[in-house]
Structure 1
Amino acid sequence: MSAFTPDADWLHWKVGPCLPSYKPPAGAVDAHCHVFGPGSQFPFAPERKYTPCDASKDQLWALRDHLGFSRNVIVQATCHGADNRALVDALHHSQGFARGVATVKGSVTDSELQALHAAGVRGVRFNFVKRLVDALPFDELGTIAERIKPLGWHIVIYFEAQELPELYDFFTALPTTVVVDHMGRPDVTKPVDGPEFGLFLKLLRENENFWSKVSCPERLSQVGPPGYDDVVPFARAVVEQFPERVLWGTDWPHPNMKSHMPDDGHLVDMIPKIAVTEELQKKLLIDNPMRLYWPELG
């Protein structure tokens, strides 16, 4: 049993997702997913903004195999704060088939960074979604970006579209590769060729160190499952304009979903809608994540 009780409105991830019609190519990477606890073994952070259900590494491996993927990139969830023990445990038990994105504080030591690197961490995530953090991490990000650069790590940033204008100059000054979560959470009720999403495309176009995850349609869509069709034009625009700098992931176990819990099989079936050729699918699911997270195998 978990030592923690999930929030009353917490939606449990879908047990027994459908088998997707789309079969990912051999070697495909789910490049954005999480592990939660188990809370009895890896306690959630006291400062967390939500208390989730447990979602263990073994359950993640089972989902990976069911969906037809080969590897995972596990991103530290905000419910664990900067305590990366659950992430590191999953990496140690992955047999080399998972890499990680950690959360660290400015006080992290060089030896701690080296230990995370040895475990398989290759990036650090910073959250700029104001409703999920107490303070925006400007100072820590700038300091840590310089410290992780010699390790070859990258920065992952999470923000919402309306916040990009005030963050744009700060982000573009970062000295590392930068990966944006979920296309910067565009408002899909606005035009794909409008100024708001246009600023995000400009960010990618004018800064070749910026990548984007074309993930989480369930967080962005107004029309909902199974097709999330209103998200497709946005994700397809990013994939087709920046095919060498895109990643895809399930976002399992889908933290903080309030309207519905997606079926991961349906999410996989979106892939050929946003990457419409086998060449684009190979870049999205294999070439790009392998280059970023397993460069030694290239």
Structure 2
Amino acid sequence: MAKPPRIAGPVALPRRPRIAPPPGAVDAHAHLFGPEARFPYAEGRGYTPPDAPVEAYLALLDRLGLARGLLVQGNAHGFDNAVLLDALERAPDRLRAIAITDTRIAPETLRDWHRLGMRGLRFHEHMAPPGYVRGVGLEALPHFRGVMRDLGWVVQVFCDHRRLPAIAADLAAIAEEMPVVIDHMLAVPAAQGIADPGFQALLRLVGEGLAHVKLSGAYRLSDRFPDYPDARPFHDALLAANPERLLWGTDWPHTSIPAAIMPDDGALLDLFQDWTPRAEDRARILVETPSRLFW
């Protein structure tokens, strides 16, 4: 099998943000990769990342003035969450994590992971070619639902915007038992505009308090590097809908983004703060909501 293409790594030394984030601020979406010699990459992955180990991530938090981080299992490691479990053991006060796994794992295993700092499972509602490891869909949730409910875990969903209207009612039902978190503002192409049916379904869920959304990955909506102005209407609409259901994350190390347009993490934090002008909203999004959900 041909080795998947190697992708670019993140900006090595991002700028420091112009505005210091509030004390206790959380990066609510980042990934770890490798080192490959210790944590091999999965067969069937869509890309081969350069190593982005926990030491580099903790240094990023320090540089940006962020207290803590939420790690999310990355596609390159498939269903082997060892890289996250290792990081949680090494930095238990600063890190929490979201796993990806399938039903070969016994639900009771989640209790062991919880003691280390795992706080949820991520589900993918995307189309993927055969053999491509891209997580599991919500059809796997019943296997874990009882234990996740008992532990107060989060159901995190990386969802195609075209798929959300069909599953919105299911997510609302899940939200009666445990928090639901949607990734990357639903990654709606900016050209679709906020009238996109998927985004409108998302706004209803957020407005009714039935879903949380990560204000991350503006560069996954827009190709207008480096300030992504056409992504701002999505941010603004979510902020207006319900600031108590929002989180922010770097999405470090920015998988599958070409080196020439690799976002600077300090610039992304500045962009969030520019787009979120009220200090009380920034504190709620960066500190209060992630602390409630994950700590």
Quick check: 1:48 aligned with 2:45?
yes
In 2, are the aligned partners of 1:34 and 1:251 still within 8 Å (CA)? yes
Which residue in the other structure is 2:262 paired with?
Answer: 261
> Structure 1 residues 83, 220: CA separation in 2 closer, same or farther (over 3 Å shift)?
same
Per-residue CA distance 1:181-209 (angstroms, 9 max, x = gap): 01111221133245442222122234x23
Q: What amino acid sits opposite 1:217 in the alignment? A: A
Within 5 Å, give how 1:241-280 maps onto structure 2. Answer: 241-258=241-258, 260-280=261-281
RMSD: 2.0
In 2, are the aligned partners of 1:130 and 1:136 still within 8 Å (CA)? no
Q: What amino acid sits opposite 1:92 in the alignment? A: E
Which residue in the other structure is 2:123 paired with?
Answer: 126
Structure 1 residue 233: deviation in Å?
1.7
Which residue in the other structure is 1:139 paired with?
Answer: 139
Q: Secondary structure at the match of 2:139?
A: helix
Q: Secondary structure at the match of 1:63?
A: helix
Which residue in the other structure is 1:27 paired with?
Answer: 24
Q: Secondary structure at the match of 2:189?
A: coil
Structure 1 residue 61: deviation in Å?
0.5
In 1, are the aligned partners of 2:6 and 2:49 still within 8 Å (CA)? no
Q: What amino acid sits opposite 2:210 in the alignment? A: N
Partners of 1:133 and 1:167 lie apart in 2 by 22
Per-residue CA distance 1:82-120 (angstroms, 9 max, x = gap): 211100111111141111111122132244211110110
Give the ranges of 4+ consecutive aligned residues of structure 1 lying more than 3 Å apart after TM superposition: 5-9, 131-136, 193-196
Structure 1 residue 6: deviation in Å?
7.9
Structure 1 residue 173: deviation in Å?
3.0
Worse overlay, 166-175 or 231-240: 166-175
Within 5 Å, give how 1:51-130 maps onto structure 2. Answer: 51-130=48-127
Worse overlay, 164-173 or 275-284: 164-173
Q: Secondary structure at the match of 1:40?
A: coil
Worse overlay, 183-192 or 249-258: 183-192
Q: Secondary structure at the match of 2:143?
A: helix
Q: What amino acid sits opposite 2:283 in the alignment? A: K
Percent identity of the aligned residues?
35
> Structure 1 residues 6, 156: CA separation in 2 closer, same or farther (over 3 Å shift)?
same
Which residue in the other structure is 1:178 paired with?
Answer: 180
Q: Structure 2: state its 5+ residue gaps.
A: none
Per-residue CA distance 1:260-296 (angstroms, 9 max, x = gap): 21111110111223321000000010000001111xx
Quick check: 1:164 aligned with 2:164?
yes
Per-residue CA distance 1:164-188 (angstroms, 9 max, x = gap): 2233233333242110001111221
Q: Structure 1: state its 5+ residue gaps.
A: none
Partners of 1:273 and 1:280 lie apart in 2 by 12
Which residue in the other structure is 1:150 paired with?
Answer: 150
In 1, are the aligned partners of 2:40 and 2:77 still within 8 Å (CA)? yes
Partners of 1:170 and 1:279 lie apart in 2 by 32
* Number of aligned residues: 288
Partners of 2:241 and 2:273 lie apart in 1 by 16
Structure 1 residue 133: deviation in Å?
4.9
Partners of 1:95 and 1:149 lie apart in 2 by 22
TM-score (norm 2): 0.91
Q: Secondary structure at the match of 1:269?
A: helix
